[in-house]
């Protein structure tokens, strides 16, 4: 993960086992089936919310990260793995 000195900035990391899963990359990349690691910071968090039923948007001062994800797929850390709440 990126180590930033800026307080409250949000880092991100995306790791893929193969570059074949990339659909678009705007920087130069080499061919082959090697892995891909992308790290950076999107800056200070502006918002993180579902902008569509299946699109989670995390917007920072330096950029936006969007993920195709349903809110029902996000696990609540306050709940046990079996679905019950912690006491």
| Segment 32-81, tens digit of pLDDT | 557 788 889 999 999 999 999 999 999 999 999 999 999 889 888 887 65
Residue 16 is predicted with a pLDDT of: 84
- CA dist 54 and 75 (Å) reads 15
Examine the pLDDT at 87 and tell me if it is beyond 50.
Answer: no
* Pairing mode of beta strands 64-68, 55-60: antiparallel
Residues 38, 46: Cα–Cα separation, whole Å: 21
Determine the pLDDT at residue 4.
Answer: 47
9, 2 in Cβ contact below 8 A? Answer: no
pLDDT, residue 59, reads 95
């Amino acid at each position: 993960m990126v180590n930033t000195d800026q307080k409250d900035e949000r880092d991100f990391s995306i790791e893929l086992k193969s570059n074949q899963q990339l659909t678009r990359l705007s920087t130069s990349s080499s061919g082959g089936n090697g892995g891909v690691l992308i790290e950076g910071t999107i800056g200070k968090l502006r918002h993180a919310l579902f902008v569509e039923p299946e699109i989670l948007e995390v917007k920072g001062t330096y950029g936006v990260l969007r993920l195709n994800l349903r809110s029902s797929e996000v696990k609540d850390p306050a709940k046990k793995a079996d679905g019950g709440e912690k006491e």
